[in-house]
């Protein structure tokens, strides 16, 4: 059996497809492709048109900035860029969105008459009984092979995906994706193992329309109606005869506990007070730590070239890369530049590889700057920091691509990179005992370590503050090291 060397490589090959001269991420393409094939379905036509109009709408400079600003608040939702466009086009003021049943997990119900936001949700390959999918594939292939000549092979497409299983007359199986053979199997057991580890729950076989609701269209009821397994028995509401109250659809009446309601409390308020120096230094220390954990040292130094606030240097012959930020900047300005250069380090470490994925001859300087700037804007705007420059204000359809497909590819990278940065910053803040509002998590030790005494809590708080001070000292030390004055080498591979 032939397997690709790395799981990530396998996933990349499995989720891309050639489409009018471009390679686009398969999940998003499948949405559009499926819609285009159903011309008789007016509802899906309308949704496809809405997606296209939504993408066109965010191409306008100010709309694009508003879109990025809004999407920064959705980084925890995990939606694709296509669904993010659909959300934005239908509810520009949406702050936190979930499905009808998902809201119940957080002690909230959708208000009667609330208008749903339409998105597309993938339905992944699954089986009710072990081996069921393999048996279906094998049966279909055996039936098809009977109609083939000796030089032909049987084929079976997995749902509406681009995965095609084939079988030769000698019984050997293989898998083709986008017309290319990516795996061969020695027999039934080999294919079964592959399906279990690489197909089930991972490969979308079709997409369906799904309704989600913004938090403003929900409320906290006294009781919830939940399926078995979604609640604790002690929370059941009993009838006068002591039996659980249950609907004909199998939903149980359950108390909406404070524990359930509190699950989302830390995520509901996205407002952040004005960034002061202390908060800016905290945020900068988190960005510095995140970058260094990725193998990209970030330092504050004297940069002698006029007009350069910072740069990212791509890996040299020794594989060393770094980010340098000017010591002349204010604390909040250092944060803004850090977001920009970190975006470069994630997106543009391997320019040839990125060009291949985007089906471009090269990713030119202008495109790289806009990608990094849009990513930084989306990430930093979550914290109330505006990173946009004059070049960003002239964003047009020609900036990120000549057509919607080109723009969609860049939007994918911008969207996913920003989510990676925000999720990583959240983890760094968690380690320091802070939330995404850049404030101490007051309930951190009281809820998770109830046995602690007041003196223990104050000592931990002191340690957290000391950690923050130590990080600030590290930054200040970088500022004051005159020996680190930099003359930029024109031949270095770097991004400003």
199-252 tens-digit pLDDT:
898 888 877 788 999 989 999 999 999 999 899 999 999 999 999 999 998 999
Lowest mean pLDDT among 72-76, 336-340, 377-381, 461-465: 461-465
Mean pLDDT of 441-457: 44
Mean pLDDT of the chain: 75
**pLDDT in the model for residue 239:** 92
Q: What pLDDT sits at residue 421? A: 94
Is pLDDT at 343 greater than 60 in this prediction? yes
- Which has the higher per-residue pLDDT, 316 or 83? 316
Residue 77: what pLDDT? 65
Of 3-12, 120-129, 206-215, minimum mean pLDDT range: 3-12
Q: What is the mean pLDDT of residues 341-368?
A: 88
What digits encode the pLDDT tens for the residues 144-154?
A: 988 887 778 89
How sure is the predictor about 4, in pLDDT bands with cuts at 50, 70 and 90?
Answer: very low
Per-residue model confidence (pLDDT) at position 402: 47
SS (H, E, C) the chain: CCCCCCHHHHHHHHCEEEECCEEEEHHHHHHHHHHHCCCCCHHHHHHHHHHHHHHHHHCCHHHHHHHHHHHHHHCCCCCCHHHHHHHHHHCCCCCCEEEHHHHHCCCCEECCCCCCEEEEEEEECCCCCCCHHHHHHHHHHHHHHCCCCCCCCEEEECCCCCEEEEECCCCCEEEEECCEEEEEECCHHHHHHHHHHHCCCCCEEEEEEEEEEEHHHEECCCEEEECCCCCCHHHECECCCCCECECCCCCEEEECCHHHHHHHHHHHCCCCCCCCHHHHHHHHHHHHHHHHHCCCCEEEECECCCCCCEEEECCCCCCCCEEEEECCCCHHHHHHHHHHHHHHHHHCCCHHHHHHHCCCCCCCHHHHHHHHHHHHHHHHHCCCCCCCCHHHHHCCHHHHCCCHHHHHHHHHHHHHHHHHHHHHHHHHHHHHCECCCCCECCCHHHHHCCCCCHHHHHHHHHHHHHHHHHHHHHHHHHHHCHHHCECCCCCCCEEC
Give the integer Cα–Cα distance in Å for 287 and 424. 8
Instruction: Provide mean pLDDT across the span 404-429.
Output: 83
Lowest mean pLDDT among 139-148, 228-237, 447-456: 447-456
Per-residue pLDDT for 381 more than 60?
A: yes
Q: What is the pLDDT of residue 21?
A: 32
**Using 50, 70 and 90 to split pLDDT, how confident is the model at 49?**
low
Q: Return the top range by mean pLDDT from 330-334, 465-469, 470-474, 487-491.
A: 330-334
Q: Which of 44-58, 137-151, 426-440 shows the highest mean pLDDT?
A: 426-440
What integer pLDDT is reported at residue 443 of this predicted model? 52
Q: Which of 143-157, 255-269, 386-400, 453-467 has the lowest mean pLDDT?
A: 453-467
- Whether 27 shows a pLDDT value over 70: the answer reads no
Q: Is the pLDDT of residue 441 over 90?
A: no
Alpha-carbon Rg for the chain in angstroms: 26
- The pLDDT of residue 51 is 58
> Tens digits of per-residue pLDDT, 278-329?
999 999 999 999 999 999 999 999 998 887 889 999 999 899 999 999 999 9
- Could you tell me the pTM of the whole model? 0.56
């Amino acid at each position: 059996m032939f397997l690709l060397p790395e799981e990530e490589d396998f996933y990349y090959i499995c989720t891309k497809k050639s489409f009018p001269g471009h390679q686009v991420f398969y999940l998003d393409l499948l949405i559009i492709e499926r819609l285009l094939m159903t011309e008789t379905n007016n509802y899906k036509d309308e949704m496809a048109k809405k997606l296209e109009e939504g993408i066109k709408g965010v191409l306008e400079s100010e709309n694009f900035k508003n879109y990025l600003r809004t999407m920064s608040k959705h980084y925890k939702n995990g939606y694709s860029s296509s669904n993010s466009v659909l959300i934005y086009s239908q509810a520009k003021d949406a702050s936190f969105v979930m499905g009808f049943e998902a809201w119940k997990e957080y002690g909230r119900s959708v208000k009667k008459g609330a208008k749903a936001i339409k998105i597309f949700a993938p339905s992944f390959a699954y089986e009710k009984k072990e081996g069921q999918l393999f048996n279906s594939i094998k049966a279909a292939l055996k039936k098809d092979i009977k109609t083939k000549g000796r030089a032909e092979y049987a084929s079976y497409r997995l749902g509406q995906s681009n995965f095609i299983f084939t079988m030769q007359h000698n019984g050997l199986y293989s898998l083709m994706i986008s017309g290319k053979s990516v795996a061969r199997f020695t027999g039934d057991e080999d294919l079964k193992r592959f399906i279990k580890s690489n197909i089930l729950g991972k490969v979308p076989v079709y997409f369906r329309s799904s309704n989600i609701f913004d938090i403003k269209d929900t409320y906290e009821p006294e009781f919830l109606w939940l399926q078995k397994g979604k609640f604790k028995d002690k929370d059941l509401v009993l009838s006068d005869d002591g039996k659980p109250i249950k609907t004909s659809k199998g939903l149980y009446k359950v108390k909406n506990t404070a524990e359930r309601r509190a699950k989302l409390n830390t995520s509901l308020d996205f407002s952040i007070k004005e960034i002061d120096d202390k908060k800016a230094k905290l945020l900068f220390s988190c960005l510095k730590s995140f970058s260094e954990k990725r193998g990209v040292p970030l330092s504050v130094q004297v940069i002698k070239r006029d007009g350069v606030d910072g740069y990212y240097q791509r890996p040299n012959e020794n594989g060393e890369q770094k980010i340098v930020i000017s010591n002349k900047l204010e604390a909040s300005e250092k944060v803004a530049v850090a977001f920009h250069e970190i975006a470069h380090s994630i997106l543009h470490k391997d320019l040839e590889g990125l060009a291949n994925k985007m089906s471009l001859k090269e990713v030119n300087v202008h495109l790289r700057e806009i990608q990094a700037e849009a990513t930084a804007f989306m990430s930093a705007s979550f914290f109330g920091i505006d990173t946009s420059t004059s070049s960003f204000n002239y964003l047009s359809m020609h900036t990120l691509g000549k057509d919607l497909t080109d723009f969609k590819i860049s939007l994918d990278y911008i969207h996913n990179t920003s989510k990676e940065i925000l999720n990583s910053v959240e983890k760094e803040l968690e380690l320091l005992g802070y939330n995404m509002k850049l404030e101490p998590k007051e309930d951190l030790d009281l809820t998770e370590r109830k046995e602690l005494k007041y003196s223990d809590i104050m000592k931990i708080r002191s340690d957290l503050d000391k950690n923050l001070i130590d990080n600030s000292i590290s930054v200040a030390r970088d500022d004051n090291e005159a020996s680190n004055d930099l003359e930029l080498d024109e031949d270095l591979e770097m991004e400003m």
